[in-house]
Structure formats: structure tokens, C-alpha cells
A = this chain, B = another copy of it.
Amino acid sequence: MKQIERLCIKATAASRALASLPAEDKNRALCEIAAALERRSSEILRENRDDIKDGKKAKLSDALMDRLMLDEDRIGDMAQGLRDIAALPDPVGEVVDGWRIPNGLEIRKVRVPFGVVAVIYEARPNVTVDAAGLGLKTGNAVILRGGSASLHSIRMLTEIISGALIDAGLPEDAVQLVESRERAPLKQLLQMKEYVDLIIPRGGEALKEFLVKNSKIPVIYAAGGNCHVFVDAGADVQEAVDITINAKVQRPGVCNAAETLLVHEQIAGDFLPVVVKELTRRKVKLYMDAGARKLIGKRFKSVEDATDEHYATEFLDLAMAVKVVGSVDEAIEHIARFGTGHSEAIVTNDLESSRKFTAQVDAACVYVNASTRFTDGGQFGLGAEIGISTQKLHARGPLGLRELTSVKYVIAGDGQIRT
């Protein structure tokens, strides 16, 4: 039997023990792991230094090196993250729905763990702890497969987690690591549909494409966000400027940042010169259609012509495409063509536009008079987030603890048979 299959069988056995654990046992284990991380921080940092050394040799980018690097503060954040998860309500056991049918059978739909969840991620050691914590809280056994550049760090983190699980009286196989740097074990893992109930990727488009192609297990995808702000005729200009700047500039590198600004032609003359000035002052590179360029004159030399390619691009950077449209319908049409179904905003004071936009824009999150940047489990008040789903099956939008569970029907009778 392959090593991966043995690991999966152990995960399945652990998942059965986890499924009926009361919340207080799971929460105690989470706090135990948090304490162990802080207690053993010097061991973590020692292993992390090896990853950093290897990363420098391999000439990883500054961004990758920053994600890889741990220090006392970051370890403290990981521990606090676990304590925050412990403080959240346990979704397992929640009675989602329930009713009685005419013959007296009592039907209850109850929230249960998935069973075994595999989290595939890049070289970010903190995801190890985050995924283990979310999985444990929701009663799932977790199989981790992190980026090979972080292998020293995540091996130590997993060892600490397993030790703390044993100390807390939980099955140590509740959290397991696929240790190899090779691709073959990952491909094997993606075939294990008898044992693994769900794959959650935490990473970029390349990882997602790899999983779409190779996984026989259901995957919850978190696609990129080509998000739009549409400023309607009659919107409050200052509010529209504030929302546009926030959606673009507050943190440009994330999926809920806006990438294209759509402007109704009736407000473009008033709005565009103001917003373009504010955006360029904040070093946002602009790609504008002819109608928009005409309205701002020749003052802004760094502005370039927009093409369909710009409209289709998730810049994840200080760059934005701008287009003037004739109506809310044209804005909706543009979003349908270029959007990725993540987060879309309208700034308007018109009730009909608002109704039309929210009804017809097909996205995980549709905003009226607010920044797209709020699409986030923490902001939504879900308490913890394992990602943002842009697929429509199972979960859409920020994924909290509930989205890491399934349901089971429990039906109680007193001898009913079907006639």
C-alpha cells in the first residue's frame, strides 16, 4: 500500500473520533497547541532559518521570502489565531432544519464535519496552523500539503501540533503532513476519493488549475477577483471618490480590490477629473477608454488607452482600467463579460439602479454604496476564514466555520414503514 493511502486511512480513523467530540475538548486542544507554539518558538525559528537559507540560495522573490519568514511576533499571531478560533461557536451539532412528516417521522437536518479535509497551500508556514485550527474546530481530520520551500518550518509546526493533540487527549492523526517535496504524492492524494472528502487550495491560479486538472475529490475554488466599482448617474461624487479610492488603493494586492472603474456618462464630467486626480496622486496607473480620456483633458500624462485586455486583467497592483458607460445595463453587461464573480459595487442614489444591479450582477458579493474591500470573513463577522469562494456549489463568498461542515439527516420514528 502506498504511504499516502496509509496516511489517508489514519486520517479517516481520526476523523471518526473527532466527529463526536464536544466543543470543549476541541477548544482545549486549540489552546494547548497555541501554548506549545509559544513555548517551542525557538525550535520553530531554528527550522525557519533553514528554509530562509535555502530560499536565498534558490533566489526566491522578496514577496515569497516575506511570506516564508517567521519571527516571535508572527508565532504569537498564529497562537492568538488559534485562541480566537477556540472562542467561536462550534458549528457541529447545529440543527439546521427540522420538521415532522404526516406519518409522525421526525426529520432533523444536523450539521456534521466533512470527515477528512486536505488543504493544499504554498510556502506560507502560518497556513499550517490556521488550517489545522479550522479543521480541528469543525471536527475534521486535516491533511496538510504546504509549499516545499517551507518544509522545515511546517514539519516542525506539524510536530508541535501533533504533540499538543496527544497532550490534549485527541488523536494525533487528526493533523498530518504530506512531507515530500515531490509532486507525485500530491497527485496520489488527489485520487484518494474513498478517504478524503474535500480539497481546499490556498494559493494562486497555477495551483487551482493543477487541482482542476488532477483532482477526483471535490475542490472549493477561490478564484481571482476582477472586481468593479460602477458609479451611477446622480451618485454622491465625494462618496463615489472615497469608495473608489478605498476599493483600489487600501490594499491593492488582494482579491477584493477593485480593478475597473465604470462611470455613467451623466456623472463622468463631474466625477472623473476628481477621481483621476486622487488616483494619480496615489500613484495608480490608469488605462482609460476614449470617452473617459476626453473628459479629463491632457493634464494626466501617465494615462494610457484601455483595451479589452486591461478590462480582463486582475492587476493586483496600483493600476486600474476606467470606462464610461451609457447606462446601468451597459455596466452590468461589462461586468458579466469581464468579471470573475467575486465582488462588485454600485455607487448610486437611484433605487431602480440599485435593484437592477443587485438582481442582475452574478457575483458572490454585490455591494450598494460600499467598498468591495469588505468581502472578508473577519469583516463579515464570521470570525475566521479559510478563503473566499467564487464557485456556486456548497459555499459562495467568505468561507467560515460553517462552510467547513456538511449535514446529515437524522430521522426518528416508532416503527414507520413505507406503504
Q: Interface stretch among A261-269, A316-324, A403-411?
A: A403-411
Interface residues on A, range: 35 or more
Contact string against B for A residues 76-108, beta-carbon threshold 8 Å, 1 for contact and 0 otherwise:
000000000000000000000001010001010
Whether B363 contacts A411 by the Cβ 8 Å rule is no
Please tell me which one of the listed residues B380, B409, B415 contacts residue A239 in the complex, with CB atoms under 8 A apart. Answer: B415
Q: Closest Cβ of chain B: how far from A381's Cβ, in Å?
A: 5
Q: Is A16 an interface residue (CB 8 A)?
A: yes
Copy number in this complex? 2
Q: Is A5 an interface residue (CB 8 A)?
A: no
Residues of B within 8 A of A368 (CB): 410-413
Please tell me which one of the listed residues B20, B393, B409 contacts residue A359 in the complex, with CB atoms under 8 A apart. Answer: B20
Q: Is A44 an interface residue (CB 8 A)?
A: no
Query: What CA separation (Å) do A118 and B247 show in the bound complex?
Result: 36
Query: What CA separation (Å) do A410 and B360 show in the bound complex?
Result: 11
Whether B243 contacts A417 by the Cβ 8 Å rule is yes
Query: What CA separation (Å) do A362 and B198 show in the bound complex?
Result: 15
Whether A114 contacts B392 by the Cβ 8 Å rule is yes
Whether B380 contacts A413 by the Cβ 8 Å rule is no
In the assembled complex, 22 residue pairs joining A and B whose CB atoms fall closer than 8 Å, in A order, are: A16-B360, A19-B359, A19-B362, A20-B360, A99-B381, A112-B362, A115-B392, A193-B212, A198-B392, A198-B393, A212-B216, A218-B391, A239-B414, A242-B417, A243-B415, A250-B417, A364-B408, A365-B411, A366-B409, A369-B413, A373-B418, A374-B416
Q: Which residues of A come within 8 Å of B, CB atoms?
A: 16, 19-20, 99, 101, 105, 107, 109, 112, 114-115, 193, 197-198, 212, 216, 218, 220, 236, 239, 242-243, 245-247, 250, 336, 358-360, 362-371, 373-375, 379-381, 391-394, 396-397, 406-419
Given A369-B412, A369-B415, A396-B406, 4 further pairs, Cβ under 8 A: A220-B393, A366-B409, A371-B417, A374-B418
